Amino acid sequence: MRRTLGRGRPFRLIVTGGGTGGHTYPALTTIRTLRAAEAASGRSIEVLWVGAAGSLEERVAEGEGITFRTVVTGKLRRSGTPLGLASLANLTDLVKVPLGVAQARSLLTEFAPDVVLATGGYVALPVGFAARLCHRPLVVHEQTVRLGLANRTLARLATRFAVSSESTLALLPESARRAAVVTGNPVRPEVMVGRADKAVEALALHGFDRRLPTVYVTGGAQGSQQINRLVCGILPWLLERANVVHQCGPDNVAELDEATATLPAELAARYRSTGYVGVELPDVLALADVVVSRSGAGTIAELTALGKASVLVPLGTSAGDEQAYNARHLADAGAAVALLGEVSAQDLRDAVGELVADDARRLDMAKRARAQGRSDAAERLVDVVLATAAGR
């Protein structure tokens, strides 16, 4: 049951976290869900988002009409050696930490939040420390299977620590484990209500053969040169067996169109390249039987909540190799195929080929993926936030 505080004044929430969409968009989804819950209970809510100047979270907050304030933040650059960690850049940024904490403490004192929600990223550190200094309850949410550096630091300070996967619990310090709860990673509600027929109309997919499975290929908003290359290497073969929607990145459309210009007309009709998929994404996902993609935390949350069979090609430069870890975690559960290390077009062909050719295999993987997902993660996290604010 969702818990709310007593009426009489607005519920006040400070949100911090960002730097990447993986930290920013779960926070936004949680704010939207909390606003709806409090409105339904007849209570207003005031939200202050604390982040870095010129950041993604600043743009998102402003677009949503959320008050935004900035603090100074440093960044710890990873290294395999102590000497590498003691780089000039790390030492310079280390000096910024006390200033950021002082700024965040001033904001908390002025705003007097009922609770602070931190979703990771380096900007969450000064706000998390300030919450402890100001004796304000702190909820930390971890999106990935592994712990990010910022959240690992905040784990011992958190009143409650929300994780997206049961597997994360064992990675927490003992003190944080006692305060931990599995909520899942918040997924935008609109992702869950897509319609395949709307995707056909929006992207003019009238040449698709609906008797064949549809493969959705995506490399993120900017596309992926690696995934584009792999797909081009198997495209004629794949189009004999499936329809393909290929989100290749705005800068890659012309190159993809040139590479596919010589496809036979029948196969070309089953292929649609697009630079970017925006509001149509829920419908494209509803249409897709198989997804080929990176394995960031947000992508994993959506694919598992929807129950989609997928072939995951992790981004090799992701922080702490998190994408490979995410992909391996799903693959171990039979909920995805993970292509790790040096990946060839033949590797992709083998992985996708098995899924488009074998309905039973594809449906079993989709079922296992859905078992890993939590479509109600935002509601679960809101319950944790409200309960923590109420001292429960």
Closest CA to 291 of 273, 277, 276, 311: 311
The Cβ of residue 258 has, within 10 Å, a number of other Cβ atoms equal to 9
The upper half-sphere exposure of residue 195, i.e. CA atoms within 13 Å in the direction of its Cβ, equals 4
% of the chain at pLDDT higher than 70: 92
Distances (CA, A) of 116 to 2, 71, 136: 18, 15, 7
What's the angle, vertex CA 35, arms to CA 31 and CA 36, rounded to 5?
Answer: 120
Q: How far is CA 240 from the centre of its chain?
A: 33
* Residue 87 confidence (pLDDT) above 80: no
Residue that has been written with the tokens 């040139």 in this structure: 258
Gap between the Cα atoms of 275 and 243, Å rounded:
17
Residue spans per domain, the chain: 11-187+376-389, 189-372
Statement: residue 160 has pLDDT above 50? yes
Confidence of residue 92 (pLDDT cuts 50, 70, 90): low
pLDDT digits (tens, 9 = 90+) for 211-259: 999 999 998 877 789 999 999 999 999 999 999 999 999 999 998 888 8
**Residue 246 has what pLDDT?**
96
- The CATH number of 11-187+376-389 is 3.40.50.2000
What is the signed CA dihedral for 154, 156, 162, 168, rounded to 10 degrees? 100
Q: Using one digit for the tens of pLDDT, what is the confidence trace for 370-384?
A: 999 999 999 999 999
175 pLDDT more than 90: no
Angular region, 249: left φ>0, alpha ψ -120 to 50, beta rest: left
> For residues 205 and 270, is the Cβ–Cβ distance under 8 A?
no
Check if 11-187+376-389 and 189-372 are the same fold.
yes
The residue with tokens 């909520």 is: 183
User: Higher-confidence residue: 59 or 5?
Assistant: 59
Could you name the CATH architecture of 189-372?
A: 3-Layer(aba) Sandwich (3.40)
